[in-house]
Amino acid sequence: MGFSYLGFLVMVCCLQLVVLVSGSTKNLPIINFDEGYTHLFGEDNLVVVRDGKSVHLSLDERTGSGFVSQDLYLHGFFSASIKLPADYTAGVVVAFYMSNGDMFENNHDEIDFEFLGNIRGKDWRIQTNIYGNGSTNIGREERYNLWFDPAEDYHQYSILWTDSQIIFYVDNVPIREFKRTESMGGDFPSKPMTLYATIWDGSDWATNGGKYRVNYKYAPYIAEFSDLVLHGCAVDPIEHMARCDNAEGSEGIPTGVTRVQRIKMEGFRKKHMTYSYCYDHIRYKVPPSECVINPQEAERLRTFDPVTFGNGRRHHSKRHHHSRTSQAKVTSSI
């Protein structure tokens, strides 16, 4: 796909998405699994239920499991209601993410929701991450606690991706707004991607840097997905033609962050964010160019971890960044 043609696709998709998206996320164009997704790996560990409206992914001693969208997308709104495994879940990783690593091995793009399990009595943590043009050496991670137990019921997790911004939502509350800057260059995701959902064993890093591992005594670990939304500009990988969705119910697709949502987002980040690469003085002496420093966020994180977010000198060996693409390749070959 040539650069000029890709630029044309971006322009067309942006114009069509402006026409297609508006309103709240209460009325969404939900699809059945077979309408937009296909099996990725895991054999019988993927089960489609409720007449195709929901999917159960499980992890056991043999393998994890996952599914993938049938189409590539260049921008759009992507969502699922997810119920996570309960009880002891240390080392378990559930991921809902976009990637094109199978097409662009050396310069792939990625937009991640990752859910990191924990020991009994400790809450699941949620992590978001963004890679552009293979920029895995610059991790753009954020981590948060949630204001609810994600294993008790379904909750909606959504990604809005346009040519100028990426927004992560939880139950219609934006938790992160990532805006494209000129200085980022190709580090902003700009090539067509597919959407993935997986569950897998991340014992080496997911819980306390690998201190607590998956205990298969509690298997199978089951993640449930429902209310599946794939709404965007699908790109034919052969003909390079963009086809933007205009399904009924698209009036519920958001275009950005409303005034009320921004207040909620600021409140969430002040209370629940536990890590942001923008404030990590150990990794970045000078914050990356796209970072907008919020003094209140900075102070809260500095209180939470004065070494990482303050002027401490002790070096942390714990890696925060983890590309989803390499894991997808490993698990899909199981």
The predicted-structure confidence for 47-100, as pLDDT tens digits, reads as follows 999 999 999 999 999 999 999 999 999 999 999 999 999 999 999 999 999 999
Dihedral of the alpha carbons of 124, 130, 136, 141, in degrees to the nearest 10: -40
pLDDT of 124 strictly over 50? yes
Buried b (16+ CB within 10 A) or exposed e, 37-67: beebbbeebbebeeeeebbbbbbbeebbbbb
Q: What's the rounded mean pLDDT across residues 272-294?
A: 94
Judge whether 108 and 82 are in contact, CB under 8 Å. no
- 18 pLDDT tier (thresholds 50, 70, 90): very low
Query: Which SS3 state, helix, strand or coil, does residue 270 take?
Result: helix
**The pLDDT value given to residue 28:** 87
The answer to whether residue 110 is catalytic is yes
Pick the residue with more confidence: 132 or 326?
132
Judge whether 251 and 229 are in contact, CB under 8 Å. no
- Among 43, 105, 110, 142, the active-site one is 110
**The pLDDT value given to residue 19:** 36
The answer to whether residue 142 is catalytic is no
* CA-based nearest residue to 202, from 309, 330, 82: 330
Q: What's the rounded mean pLDDT across residues 98-120?
A: 95
Q: What's the rounded mean pLDDT across residues 104-120?
A: 95
* CA-based nearest residue to 6, from 235, 243, 220, 287: 235
Q: What's the rounded mean pLDDT across residues 2-12?
A: 46
Burial class (CB in 10 A: 0-12, 13-18, 19+), 311: exposed
Note if the bond before 220 is cis, omega within 30 degrees.
yes
Give every CB contact of residue 39 below 8 A, 6+ residues apart in sequence.
46, 67
pTM: 0.86
How far is Cα 237 from Cα 71, in angstroms, rounded to an integer?
9
Helices (H), the chain: 3-20, 33-36, 259-272, 295-304, 306-309, 324-332
Burial class (CB in 10 A: 0-12, 13-18, 19+), 18: exposed
The top-scoring range by mean pLDDT among 134-143, 224-233, 308-317 is 224-233
> Which of 131-135, 169-173, 267-271, 282-286 has the lowest average pLDDT?
131-135
- Among 105, 114, 224, 239, the active-site one is 114
- 3 pLDDT tier (thresholds 50, 70, 90): very low
